[in-house]
Structure 1
Amino acid sequence: MDIADFLNKNRIKATSTRVQLLKILASNPYPLQAKEIEDKWDSKIDRVTLYRTLKTLVAKKVIHKIEVNELITCYNFFNPEDHNTENPEHAHFHCNKCDKVICLHDYINETKPLPTGYIQSKTNIVIEGICKFCNVNKGNTKEN
């Protein structure tokens, strides 16, 4: 997938910062925190520029913002050409050992109807625990 073409098709100016940001997110199997994105940048990026670009791409619905808690926010790029398209109502798993956030696409949020008069705009489910990789690394063979 050509990132610049993708941005242009979505009527978003394909700046070098936006293209590089999306390349970093697209090449990673897990959502990344801003610091992790910064660490993967080819050169040094101004932190204000990075956060401004993240905010813009979230607003344009090009990337998905995952707020785990008040200290951890991750970002994920979802490729609409991928057959496993991102379901906005899926859960996320936060590993308390390695701090990774993993999208659980098959774990769809099932919500009960709200009481009369309430209108739901979004549901955010974050499951905390130890991921299967850290669980295996500590010698525990129990599957999660």
Structure 2
Amino acid sequence: MRAEQHRSQSLQEPGADRAGVPWDRALVTFMRLMAAVWVVKGLSYWLTILGVDPLGGATFEALSPAGRAVVIVFAVLDLVASVGLWLTSTWGGVMWLLAIMSHILVGSFAPVGPQALGIGMVVAEGAAVIVYIILSWLAARDV
């Protein structure tokens, strides 16, 4: 009887006896939500490259060479980051943070292109990074 009870306790997940928020699930949900947002952002850059802009902004051909480079880089980087986030892999978080830092730098210093990142987008992405760091810390502490 005692061996059976010990075996059932050893098969439980870490932290299963604790009540509270499952921070690892919250982190995964947040990463998947951000992945969906980044897919939309990446596809919006591809729409600009293809000449389809639902907001009626400048076409890809009308952009400066620097603006074209920014659109191409973010078209690829945002989609790669979104795949990594959806898979909840380590490289996905790194690519996402790289994409956000690039967005913040471009939005802060050289707003170019039809998806020019305003101060609101910079603040929102900065807040997303802070939420990600807090959730990662709480999930790591919960194990």
TM range, normalised to the smaller chain?
Answer: 0.3 to 0.5
- Ranked by relative contact order (alpha carbons within 8 Å, sequence separation 6 or more), the top structure is 2
Q: Normalising by the residue count of structure 1, what TM-score does the alignment of the two structures yield?
A: 0.32
Q: Normalising by the residue count of structure 2, what TM-score does the alignment of the two structures yield?
A: 0.32
Larger Rg belongs to: 2
Higher helix share: 2
